[in-house]
Amino acid sequence: MGRTLFTGGRVFDGTGTAPEAADVLVEDGVIVGVGTELAIGDGDRVVDATGRIVLPGLIDTHVHLTLSDINLVNRVSNPFSLHFFQAVVNCRKTLETGITTVRDAAGADLGLKQALARGLIEGPRTLIAVNMISQTGGHNDGNLSCGVDLALFAQHPGVPSGIADGPDEMRRTVRTMLRAGADVIKVATTGGVLSPSDDPRHAHFRPDELAVLVAEANAAHVHVMAHAQGVEGIKNAVRAGVRSIEHGIFLDDEAIELMLAHGTWLVPTLIAPTSVIEAAQRGELHEPAVLDKALEVASVHRDAVAKAIEAGVDIALGTDTGIGPHGDNLRELPLLAECGLPAYEVWAAATSRAAELLGLSDRIGRVAPGLTADLVLLEGELTDLSDLRGRVTETWQAGRRVYNRREDGNRS
């Protein structure tokens, strides 16, 4: 692959400090130097970053690559295989927004992950949960009272059912997800907004069920992420030992103290309720109960996240993209800032902190020698969080340019 020198720009290293003037030298997909006096050799490729900031490839720790909208009509009328082809487009849009690594929180199977890893399609490096584990009648149970199953994540050989009740079924279901290739186990410990027949405030699964889930995940050396919105479900998940709370809408002081004591992360996904409301405004949402819940939780959600940030809970970027349009992921960043996270810490949440949550700090998330050369070139200042997608000019993944606004902008 040879060597590439990014010169003339400022570097944000991902740790939360202000950008500084520096060059970045990449060789064979790895960062080998960061500084102001890097030597250039004959045949080296030079990228002029003047006027731009070089930052680590961004990381979104909560997406759904195979989910393209929440339109009820589409869910019952689209051919089964269509969502695979839509995922190819979604993966490309993700790269174009500067995101080079994601954690898919349900829906993507091992085939999509391997297609990305083998270069058959272009998209972010992907960790997969396969499917979300839910109790009967819970957030991932798509069976409606009319007898129709409208699960958001269609079951097929690569995505087995996530419904489990009782410790024995929980153990079997976790092992089934691991067999299907899960890099992380996702569990719903409360109801949710998009599931019309449950309540986000209600706790799902009992402590003995969650204890088995975490024990099986620990045995396989994988983390657990918990969809948890109501406060009792959040506390149950934290006490059980999950790695991260996703959403955290109704966090209270006791839950925050528990998260601090256990070192539990928060992935806020502040844009998710807004995305549901916007879908309804576009005429794409046909379930009044879902809209009512989104309207109810939007302001509560931001207040809870602000309290968690003020208390010092670890924050990582996650967007729930798929609920909202792919390519709009960076709309989450100004929402984090509005909740009190300083601008450079917002960028750290999208880079080094997200890498830490995923257990990938030794590979990605910072601009530092020895790490994979995932890089983004951004116009403007990091303290300005407006129009972020429009300011990404280039995305590099493992030392290869995968998006160039000048050449690819018309495809966005």
Q: Are residues 166 and 45 in the same domain?
A: no
Q: Are residues 372 and 316 in the same domain?
A: no
User: Residues of 95-115 as b/e, b for ≥16 C-beta within 10 angstroms?
Assistant: bbbbbbbbbbbbbbbbebbeb
Q: Are residues 324 and 353 in the same domain?
A: yes
CB 287 within 8 A of CB 293: no
For the segment 239-265, the average pLDDT, to the nearest whole number, is 98
Q: Which of 315, 335, 358 is the last residue of a domain?
A: 358
Q: Are residues 218 and 291 in the same domain?
A: yes
Q: Are residues 138 and 110 in the same domain?
A: yes
Q: What percent of the chain has pLDDT over 90?
A: 83
- How does residue 126 score in pLDDT terms, banded at 50, 70 and 90? very high
Q: Are residues 160 and 40 in the same domain?
A: no
Q: Are residues 334 and 397 in the same domain?
A: no
Amino acid code (one letter) for 200: P
3-state secondary structure (DSSP) of residue 289 = helix
Q: Are residues 345 and 297 in the same domain?
A: yes
pLDDT in tens, 21-38: 999 999 999 999 999 988
Identify the CA nearest to 183 among candidates 99, 246, 112, 85: 112
Q: Say whether pLDDT at 396 is over 50.
A: yes
User: Which range of residues forms the domain containing residue 381?
Assistant: 3-56+366-411
The domain tally of the chain equals 2
Q: Are residues 239 and 374 in the same domain?
A: no
pLDDT, position 202: 96
For the segment 84-107, the average pLDDT, to the nearest whole number, is 98
Instruction: Enumerate helices (H) and strands (E) in the chain, giving the number of each.
Output: 14, 18
pLDDT in tens, 375-392: 999 999 999 999 999 999
- How does residue 409 score in pLDDT terms, banded at 50, 70 and 90? low
What CATH number does the domain containing 371 carry? 2.30.40.10
Q: What percent of the chain has pLDDT over 70?
A: 99
Identify the CA nearest to 189 among candidates 140, 258, 149: 140
DSSP, res 237:
H
Q: Rounded to the nearest 10 degrees, how much is the dihedral formed by the CA atoms of 321, 322, 325, 328? A: 10
Supply the mean pLDDT for the chain. Answer: 94
pLDDT in tens, 310-342: 999 999 999 999 999 999 999 999 999 999 999
Q: Which of 342, 358, 374 is the last residue of a domain?
A: 358
What CATH number does the domain containing 143 carry? 3.20.20.140
Q: Are residues 93 and 162 in the same domain?
A: yes
For the segment 142-164, the average pLDDT, to the nearest whole number, is 86
Q: What is the pTM for the complete model shown? A: 0.96
Rounded CA-CA distance 290/219 in Å is 37
Q: Which of 319, 341, 358 is the last residue of a domain?
A: 358
For the segment 170-186, the average pLDDT, to the nearest whole number, is 98
pLDDT, position 1: 64
pLDDT in tens, 194-231: 887 789 999 999 999 999 999 999 999 999 999 999 99
Q: Are residues 87 and 174 in the same domain?
A: yes
Q: Are residues 10 and 117 in the same domain?
A: no
